[in-house]
Structures are given as C-alpha cells and as structure tokens.
C-alpha cells in the first residue's frame, strides 16, 4: 500500500509553515529573555549584540512568513537562509539554559 506523494505546495505548507512559526516563537521568547531577565554571565555589549541579532532575525522570519502566506504556500525558502536562524535559536537556547542554571544557584 503506497501513499500518493503530496504536491510540492502541500509539502511546503506541511514543513515550512510550522518551522517559520517555531522560529517566530523562539525569537520572541529569546527577545523577552534578553530584554527582561538578569543575565550576569553575559557582558552587556554581548547581550545587546545578541538582542539586535534576534530582532533582525525575527523581522526576517516574519517577512518570509508573509511572503509564504501571500503566495499561498507556493514560495519556499533557501535552506541556506534557515541555517543562520537555526544557529541563532541554538545560541539563545544556550543563554536560556545558563539563565536557568543561574536561577537554580540563586534560589
């Protein structure tokens, strides 16, 4: 029993749409962390630079999502564009993990 292949636009909607939403979610959380949490382990200049990168990436992802929606899911995104976003999310996860560790030591 074989499953018929999905049309390309359906594959994009199935994979890319949730991926873009995930990026938006994680960049929003990261922005909130960088703007409001004490991060003693991070130099203020590094924190500001990371926050600016997160804000820029968030704008890029939102623009990509708008383009994707405007073309009804018929426009993809070059994987080379996704890689820096993914790396930035991982970097933000690391900051968040250090913050959790810091909180645990404080409390």
Q: Are 95 and 33 in contact (CB under 8 A)?
A: yes
User: Do the domain assignments include residue 3?
Assistant: no
* Each residue's pLDDT tens digit, 40-72: 999 999 999 999 999 999 999 999 999 999 988
| pTM of the predicted protein model | 0.88
Backbone angles phi, psi at 6, to 5 degrees: -80, 145
User: Do the domain assignments include residue 94?
Assistant: yes
User: Do the domain assignments include residue 98?
Assistant: yes
Q: Are 82 and 15 in contact (CB under 8 A)?
A: no
User: Do the domain assignments include residue 85?
Assistant: yes
Q: Are 33 and 55 in contact (CB under 8 A)?
A: no
Count structural domains, the chain: 1
- Write out the residue range of the structural domain in which residue 90 sits: 8-106
User: Do the domain assignments include residue 1?
Assistant: no
Tokens standing for 18? 């949730």
Which has the closest alpha carbon to 40: 84, 87, 105, 99? Answer: 99
User: Do the domain assignments include residue 22?
Assistant: yes
User: Do the domain assignments include residue 2?
Assistant: no
Instruction: Determine which helix (DSSP H) or strand (DSSP E) holds 15, and give its type and residue range.
Output: helix 8-36
User: Do the domain assignments include residue 61?
Assistant: yes
* Each residue's pLDDT tens digit, 21-30: 999 999 999 9
């Amino acid at each position: 029993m074989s499953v018929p292949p999905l049309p390309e636009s359906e594959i994009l909607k199935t994979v890319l749409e949730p991926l873009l939403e995930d990026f938006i979610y994680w960049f929003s959380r990261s922005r909130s962390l960088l703007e409001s949490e004490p991060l003693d382990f991070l130099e203020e200049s590094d924190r500001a630079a990371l926050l600016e990168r997160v804000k820029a990436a968030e704008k890029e992802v939102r623009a990509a999502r708008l383009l994707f929606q405007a073309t009804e899911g018929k426009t993809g995104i070059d994987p080379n564009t996704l890689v820096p976003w993914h790396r930035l999310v991982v970097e933000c996860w690391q900051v968040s993990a250090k913050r959790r560790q810091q909180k645990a030591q404080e409390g």
